[in-house]
Each structure stands twice: as structure tokens, then as C-alpha cells.
Amino acid sequence: MTPRPRRISKAWLFVAPALAVFSAFALLPILQALRLSFFRWGGARPEAAWRGLGNYAEAFGDGVFWRAVLHNLLLAAASIMVQIPLALFLAVLLAAPLRGRWIFRTAYFAPMVLPTAVIAIFWSYALDANGGLALPLARLLGASGEGLLGEARTAFATVFAVISWRYVGFHMVILLAGVLAVPGELYEAAALDGAGALARFRHVTLPGVRGALAVSALLSVVGSIKYFDLVYILTAGGPDHATELGATWIYTTGIAEGQRWGYGSALAVLLLALAMAAAVPALLARQRREVAA
Amino acid sequence: MSPRARFAGVVRYAVLALFFALAAYPVLWMVSTGLKGAREAAGDWWGPPGALQWSNFAEVWKDGGYLAAFLNSLAVSASAVVATVALAAPAGYALARLRFRGSRGVFLLFLAGMMVPVHVTLIPLLRLFDRTGLYDTLAGLAAVYTAFNLPVAVVLFAAFFREVPREVEEAAALDGCGAWGTFRLIALPLARPAVVGVVVLTLVNVWNEFALALVLLRDKQTLPLVVQNLRGEYGGEVHLVAAALAIAVVPPLVVYALAQRHLVRGLTAGAVKG
């Protein structure tokens, strides 16, 4: 038993530097946000003052924030109902024996490696109210002179389309791995049983990619609740909060315009709680399934 | 092949090609519009270029603000990459190999850390940076980037080291190598694929990062901050904006071309890990 303490200390030396940097710049700030959320503090009030649950009480009456949270949830639902089916469709098309599969896969995933700022600026031109590429579509949808992003009626759907442009390929890669992992014999057996393409998809492919679908859905939900940069650059949450998300509103009230650090922290904690409420049960369910399997 | 099967094949390729064009078009546009002359670009944003004006790229590149931001991004990315590998490799090794009390807790902490939402940390980090003089410094930003890239790097390293056969390391231990020596001389040289994976993932993440740079920098700028303002900066000069965008996507696309497999695996690590 005597050599054990030495080994313990040695292993900690390997881990401690990483742990220290992660704690100082990622973990402790989260705890700090929790503490800050109980204070009235900000650019206009340089002296921090205890406010108890006041920030949270105010947050519950903050219509813009709840509208933003609703947008986060809408984004998550739309991602699951639009991006993932489209990604699965492409994955199934790519899963068949196909010359040049890697070229398609490489191109579909490429938007994931481009800087968000670059993507946002490109789309701001494509969707521009005057010279935009999407003008015919805008006219078709009856957009006024403000363009698809400038009008409250169409802005959210337009932002969602741009986000989808970036993430469909990402989900496609996850799902393609799932589709390719389905044993070919299952398809042959189903074909022998007289199952058509649609039946094979329903009874062989779909059950086979359940795990990958669950992962994609979870990443969509968590990602949608955290989403910030593309929307911030494209619309800054406007027009008239039509594309406001939790994170853009936190930035506006807590940092940029409002400089209300305490209140902004309370909103951030609420958004974090929402993300965890979505992710933790899903992760636990996954773990339970794995244990059972 | 039956006519029906051939028809299905053609339709399949047509659909795939359509989505290919959709995915590739923006980068194509940046390059082609970046080659247009000023008048041509102002008249038509979307048509193909006539005479190719290569000087646009040089003009944007030599613009003081752009070049400075490019170099800042390079410096921040390089420091964050080096720091991430240097910190994550030993940690991943210890978590995979050296059983110690609390190792499971530490591993779970890093695993959960992969999901830390940046927006919760923005205000506290801003306060911390104000107090410590790190505000508006590249070193401070690089430190935060390191912290946010560590979790996935540690998890990737740990997963890699778990797969390496133990025998070589045990032989080294018999030869009198300590834990650190075994890690440095035996395990780390074997871990080249993991190092490459972490390097490319961190590089692309840091090169593209926007929110933290927006909050923690003011006078110093990284490339995404400059890119964000390009339309305001160059006004109606679409050809210059496009050229600037094209330059900004070169580093991540080169990394993607050279190390596609690693990068895809890293970016979908949450999925692989499950």
C-alpha cells in the first residue's frame, strides 16, 4: 500500500496544468456568472450591490428575453425537422456504391470549416435588399424594399436557411457513418423478402441510424440554444427582435449597450439551465440504453 | 443496367450535384468576384468576371488593418495550438494510463467541458480581463482559446492512448523509465496522429472564433472581427470585400484539404464520443 501516494501525486502533475487553465478561463467564469447574477452591477453602476433574486425576477418579466428563448427553441425544432431529414436524405444517396462519393462529402462538410464571419458577410450580399442574389425569391415572397433579412415576417426563416446551409453537411457526415454501418446483408435479406426501396429505408436504414439520429438531434438542440455569431453579424437580433436569440440579447443588454453585468449574467445562467435541461436527460437516456445493451 | 436503374442513377447524381453547387458556390463567388474590376463588380455582383484583376488581393492584403488582423489571428492560433497540445497530451495520457484517485471525475469534467457555452463566460471573462490587464491582449485571448479547446483535446488524446498497446511502455518502465520519461520518449512519439488531429481542430476553431474576440478585444483585432466590418469598411467596393473574404478562408481550407479526416473527426467528436 505504501507506493500508492507517490503514484497519485505523479499522475496529478500530468493533469494539473490542463486542469488549471481550463478552470481559470472556462470553469470558474461559469461559477462567477452564477455569483454575479445576484448583484446589481454594470457600466452605469460601478459599485456592485447585492440584489438577491432581483435580476431573476426582472428576467421573468423581460418579454424580449422570452421571445429570444422561444426563437432558440424554434431553431432547435426546425433544425430537427428540416436539417436532419435533409441530411439523412443526402446520406442515403451517398451511401449507395457511387463514384466520387468523397468529393461530395468533402464539399458538403466544407461550410463547417469556414469562419462564421465570412459566411455571414457572403450571405449578407446574397440576401441584400438591393443587389442580392435572392431578390427574385424575395419578390416572390412579397418582401418589401427591406429584403428578406430586413423584414420581421421573413427574417427568422431566412436566418434559419443560412444556418441550415452551414449545418446540413455536418449532420450528413454523422448520419452517413450510421448508414454505412448498417450491414449489407440486412438490405439483401429485405430485398429477398420483396421489400421495395421505401420499405427497406423504413425497416432497415431507419432503425440502423437511430443512434446517429439521436446524436444529431442532441447536438442540434444544444447548438441551437447556444447559437450566437452568425445571427449577431447578419441581423444583430433585429429587425424589431424578430431574430433575437438568448445569446444575442445577453450580449446586447449585458455587454454592448446595456453593460448590465449582473442582469446579463442572470440571463446567461437561465440559458445555461435551459441547455442543461435539454442535454442532461438525453445524455442519461443514452447512457441507460448503453448499459442495457 | 436496366433503364430504370440508369435513370435513378442520373437523378441521384443530379441531386448530389445540386447540393454540391450550393455548398461550393460562396467560396467560388469570393474568388471570382475578388477578381473583378471596380466598375464591373459594382454593376453586377453575381456574374462571372471579365478581365481578371489580380491586384485586388494585393490591395486588400497590404491594407494595414487587414494584414495586422491576419497576423494577429496567426499569432493567437499558433500560441493556442501549442499550448493546447502541450497541456492536453500529458493530461490525456495520465487519464488513459495512470490510474489515480479522481481520474474518473477529471475525465468527466473535461467531457462535460466540451459543452460549456461560451456566452455564460463572456461577462465574467470581461471583468477578469479588466482587472488583470489581459483585456485587449492577444495573450489573454490565446489563453481563453486554450481553455475552451482543452476539453475536446484531452478527450481525443485519452481515447488515442487507450488504444496504444501497453507492452512497449511496460518494457520502458522495466528499463527504469519513470512515468514522465515513458510518456515523453515512448508514448508521445507514437501519438503523432492524435497530435495532428488536435492541431488541425484547434487551429480551425481558433481561426474562426468570433464571440470571445468580439468581447475581449478592442483595438487589437483578429481576422473574424475585421471580416465582420468589411462591408462598412469598403463601402460599395464589392470586389475588395470578396477578395478579403477569399484570403480569410485560405488557411482553414488548406488545413481541411491536408487533414480532412482528422478535422472531420475532431469537429464531430461529440458524436463519436457519444
What is the tens place of the pLDDT at every residue in B193-206? 999 999 999 999 99
Domain extent at residue B185: 63-273
Inter-CA distances, B185 with A8, B63, B91, B169, B178, Å: 21, 46, 16, 9, 10
ipTM for the assembly: 0.93
CATH number at residue B221: 1.10.3720.10
Q: CA-based Rg of chain B, rounded to a whole angstrom?
A: 23
Q: Is B35 on the interface with A (CB under 8 A)?
A: no
Q: Show the low-confidence residues of chain A (pLDDT under 70).
A: 1-9, 287, 289-293
- Of B269, B257, B262, B272, the closest CA to residue B197 belongs to B262
Bridging pattern class, strands A45-50 and A39-42: antiparallel
Contacts of B70 (CB under 8 A, 6+ apart): B61, B223, B247, B248
pLDDT for residue B169: 82
- Between the CA atoms of B71, B72, B75 and B77, what dihedral angle is there, to the nearest 10 degrees? -110
Q: Are B107 and A245 in contact, with CB atoms under 8 Å apart? A: no
pLDDT of residue B6 exceeding 70: yes
Instruction: Report CB contact under 8 Å: A15, B147.
Output: no
- How far is it, in rounded angstroms, from Cα B112 to Cα B125? 20
How many domains, chain B? 1
pLDDT of residue A290: 62
Does the residue B5 lie in any domain? no
Cell of A226: 447556444
In a domain, B27, yes or no: no
What gap in Å lies between CA A237 and CA B231, rounded to an integer?
18
Residue B34 belongs to a domain: no
Residue at A87: amino acid letter: A
Residue B63 to chain A, least CA–CA distance (Å): 18
Residue B68 has pLDDT above 90, yes or no: yes
Each residue of B162-185: pLDDT tens digit? 988 888 788 877 788 888 888 988
pLDDT digits (tens, 9 = 90+) for B91-145: 999 999 887 888 899 999 998 888 888 999 999 999 999 999 999 999 999 999 9
The answer to whether A112 faces chain B, any CB pair under 8 Å, is yes
Interface A–B counts its CB contacts (< 8 A) at 259
Find the Cα–Cα–Cα–Cα dihedral B33, B39, B42, B45, rounded to 10°.
-30
Question: pTM value?
Answer: 0.92
| Residue B6 belongs to a domain | no
Could you tell me if B271 lies within 8 Å of chain A, comparing CB atoms?
yes
pLDDT for the residue numbered A104: 95
Domain architecture of chain A: domains with CATH = 62-292 (1.10.3720.10)
Which residues have a Cβ under 8 Å from the Cβ of B14 and sit 6 or more positions away? none
Rounded (10°) CA dihedral B242, B248, B249, B255 = 160
What pLDDT score does B273 carry?
A: 43
Q: For position B268, what pLDDT does the model report? A: 82
Q: Is residue B30's pLDDT more than 60?
A: yes
Confidence of residue B270 (pLDDT cuts 50, 70, 90): low
